[in-house]
Amino acid sequence: MKHAGDPMLRANPVAARRLAEPAVEERMQAAAMRVAVVIPSFRVRQHILEVIDGIPAAVERIYVVDDACPEQSGDWVEANCRDTRAVVLRNAVNLGVGGAVMAGYARAVEDGMDVIVKMDGDGQMDAAALPQLIGPILRGEADYTKGNRFYDLDQIGRMPVARILGNAVLSFMTKISSGYWDLFDPTNGYTAIHARVAQRLPLEKVSQRYFFETDMLFRLNIIRAVVADVPMEARYGSETSNLRISRVLFDFSFKHVRNTGKRLFYNYFLRDLSLASIELLLGLLFLVVGTAMGVAFWAQSSATGVTTSAGSVMLVALQVIVGIQLLLGFLAYDIAAVPRRTLHRLLSRNG
């Protein structure tokens, strides 16, 4: 039998965490943590009963949120599911995955749950991995956890190149807008959150559609919650995704820019003012002014045929270089400022 120190397990973090699953199950029971699962339901009638059947027995409540599903998945679950933990919630109109999850969060908090897991109803998420997903929360190491399908190099090699490149781009954009520089795979919807932290989120403001997972990270950074990646195995079946990159590209880009601006203003000017705030302001100022002067000198030289003087070129270069250096200093500070103290423990101590 393999143990946690086995070299093969150290090389495969997914397998190592699987080995620790029984310990996590025991911790759930010992800590008397009430765990709930929220399943947004829209066009997943074919898979949802199988998903419910696979959820571990340690989970106390399962909220199936019928998001105005044209397949009447809520009625289907009520008529065919024999699991007494399942509770069907219904949205009068389709609110998207974010709106469905927020409805589940609100009900779970109202029912006194401690940890809330979000799983999709299409069968892509392995219910057996749930204990390892909530493990960091139970140990007090994180307030919010999410799956990451890019830990295992063997699995990455089996993924389509377009998926890898797309995820890399989205991950980099999310790092900038959310401030969680140590996370990857931002569109992974297999997540868990401590209920005390969920209570602090402005649930009505979280993006309701496909930007939901990314917007959650932005909101969590604003309240200084600790977020952790958990290695997950990628599962792909016969289900199809409703997400079309071409349809959301500009929408996502705009929202990333908006969230970046909000985060920088909230964290570096409204909540606190530090050396990093000054570096950001001066860096942007020098870079913008230097670039504008360079363009102006180039346009004047092109129009008159007179070569720009060496002094003018040096003045532009100096401002651009100083601006870049200041922004790099700010970036180093921002990367080091990722939240490290768990919010739910702080809230517990403060009552």
| Model confidence pLDDT, tens digit, residues 202-252 | 988 998 888 899 999 999 999 999 999 999 876 655 545 555 555 566 788
Q: Taking Cα atoms as reference points, which of 247, 258, 257, 187 lies closest to residue 216? A: 187
pLDDT of residue 12: 46
Q: What percent of the chain has pLDDT over 70?
A: 85
| Model confidence pLDDT, tens digit, residues 180-191 | 999 988 888 899
The answer to whether 209 and 117 have CB atoms below 8 angstroms apart is no
pLDDT of residue 253: 87
Residue 231 to residues 175, 213, 345, Cα–Cα distance (Å): 18, 17, 24
Going by pLDDT thresholds of 50, 70 and 90, the confidence category of residue 36 is very high
pLDDT of residue 59: 95
Residues 326 and 282: their CA atoms lie apart, in Å, by: 7
Long-range contacts: 58-61, Cβ < 8 Å, 24+? 58/25, 58/28, 58/29, 58/131, 59/35, 59/85, 59/117, 59/130, 60/34, 60/35, 60/36, 60/85, 60/113, 61/34, 61/36, 61/37, 61/85, 61/87, 61/108, 61/111, 61/113
Residues 83 and 327: their CA atoms lie apart, in Å, by: 55
Is 18 a residue whose pLDDT tops 70? no
The strand pairing partners of 230, in sequence order, are 147
Strand order in the sheet with 35-41: 86-91, 61-67, 35-41, 115-118, 191-194, 144-148, 227-231
pLDDT of residue 7: 45
pLDDT of residue 235: 64
**For residues 153-166, average pLDDT:** 73
296 vs 185 pLDDT, higher one: 296
Lowest-pLDDT range of 31-35, 49-53, 141-145, 244-248: 244-248
What is the rounded average pLDDT for all residues in the chain?
86
Q: What's the helix, strand, coil split of the chain in %, to 5?
A: 55, 10, 35
- Domain borders along the chain are 7-243, 273-336
| Model confidence pLDDT, tens digit, residues 55-108 | 999 999 999 999 999 999 999 999 999 999 999 999 999 999 999 999 999 999
pLDDT of residue 17: 43
Q: Output the six-digit token pair for 195.
A: 């209920």
Residues 139 and 26: their CA atoms lie apart, in Å, by: 12
Going by pLDDT thresholds of 50, 70 and 90, the confidence category of residue 340 is very high
Is 169 a residue whose pLDDT tops 90? no
Residues 262 and 223: their CA atoms lie apart, in Å, by: 13
Domain 7-243, CATH: 3.90.550.10
Written as one letter, the residue type at 166 is: G
Residues 68 and 25: their CA atoms lie apart, in Å, by: 34
Is 165 a residue whose pLDDT tops 90? no
Residue 47: CA atoms inside 13 Å, Cβ hemisphere, count? Answer: 21
The answer to whether 243 and 167 have CB atoms below 8 angstroms apart is no
Lowest-pLDDT range of 25-39, 258-272, 302-316: 25-39
| Model confidence pLDDT, tens digit, residues 120-154 | 998 889 999 999 999 999 999 999 999 998 877 77
**For residues 255-274, average pLDDT:** 94
Q: Which residue has the tokens 């995820």?
A: 167
46 vs 288 pLDDT, higher one: 288
The answer to whether 213 and 189 have CB atoms below 8 angstroms apart is yes
Q: Which residue has the tokens 């003087």?
A: 309
